[in-house]
Amino acid sequence: MTGRGLRANLSAMPTDSLVHDRTKLEPGAVTRLSPLVRRVIATNPSPFTFTGTCSYIVGQGEVAIIDPGPNDAAHRAALLDAVKGERVVHILVTHTHKDHSPGARALSVATGAPVWGCAAHVPVEDHPSGRLDASHDIDYAPDVEMRDDDALQGAGFTLTAVHTPGHASNHLCFALSEEVSLFSGDHVMAWSTTVVAPPDGDMAAYMASLERLAARPEDVYHPGHGAPVLNARRYVRGLATHRRQRENAILARIRDGDADIATIVARIYVGLDPRLVRAASLSVLAHLQDMTARGLVASSDGAATLDANYTAT
């Protein structure tokens, strides 16, 4: 679908307001979220990970673990303790950011379970936005690479891959058909909007993935960080509205003469935590890449880059 057609479809959706759930969650504790789903949170809190990475245990007796998190011995021990007396038969990974996938290989060694999930990260070289994808785990290599609509059949559960590029090009969500819920990784989270950072992050792909999720039946999401997303389809529509509003704000700043990303960020992210300025700059760059491709703005560098000046067309 073209960018214009995608935005027309999104614009036709109800414009729900975006309300975040920033409930503080306890790292290390085992929390049962549903008959088939338990959660253990890694002790890696930060402005980007909230209270830590959420690892999920799916099933009973013979289980799968989704997103083992960082390669942290304490978190691995917490996961193994949570499944004591059970057998881990699969390890799944949503995407290759360093707070999600590095723990997979060590957990595989500890349990004998194969690693299933997203494709390995392919670095983007010589990209006009610069070498900005250092957040990826370049050592990750799945035993079984899952593609869109591939299904893993477990003991009493089925996990189906849903390819959702945008936050990361290899990002997968996993649909749990027995509970009509979705493990949404970092694509949709209740506590915050998602960072879309070029060159691997792509705003047009992110918006298309939001539209795809909004059309699916799942209305409860288990995200990579923070509390479950309830009324998820409405929340996804709110995320799409938020991104359209951000695009409009960027375009308004450019029309008013704010020509560079640093100035735009200072104008529209008033009071931003200084630790998040880089992420905000990359998010604006992602919007500008999409807006340049659609002919809404022009870049002094031709392609959209962090250092370019921009004008409205």
pLDDT over 80 (residue 180): yes
pLDDT over 60 (residue 1): no
Q: What is the mean pLDDT of residues 199-214?
A: 96
pLDDT of residue 2: 33
**279 to 19, 48, 313: CA distances (angstroms):** 21, 9, 26
pLDDT of residue 125: 61
**DSSP helix/strand/coil, 63:** strand
Q: What is the mean pLDDT of residues 174-193?
A: 97
Q: What is the mean pLDDT of residues 10-19?
A: 50
pTM: 0.90
Q: How far is CA 50 from the centre of its chain?
A: 13
Mode of pairing for the β-strands spanning 172-176 and 158-163: antiparallel
179: exposed, middle or buried (Cβ count in 10 Å: 0-12, 13-18, 19+): middle
Query: Which residue spans within the chain are E strands per DSSP?
Result: 30-32, 37-41, 54-58, 62-66, 87-93, 115-117, 144-145, 151-153, 158-163, 172-176, 181-185, 220-223, 229-230, 297-299, 310-312
pLDDT of residue 122: 87
pLDDT of residue 3: 38
11: confidence class by pLDDT, cuts 50, 70, 90: very low
- Distance (Å, whole) CA 136 – CA 124: 11
pLDDT of residue 133: 53
Predicted confidence (pLDDT) per residue in 114-127, tens digit? 999 999 998 876 54
Domains, the chain, ordered by start: 3-238 (3.60.15.10), 243-312 (1.10.10)
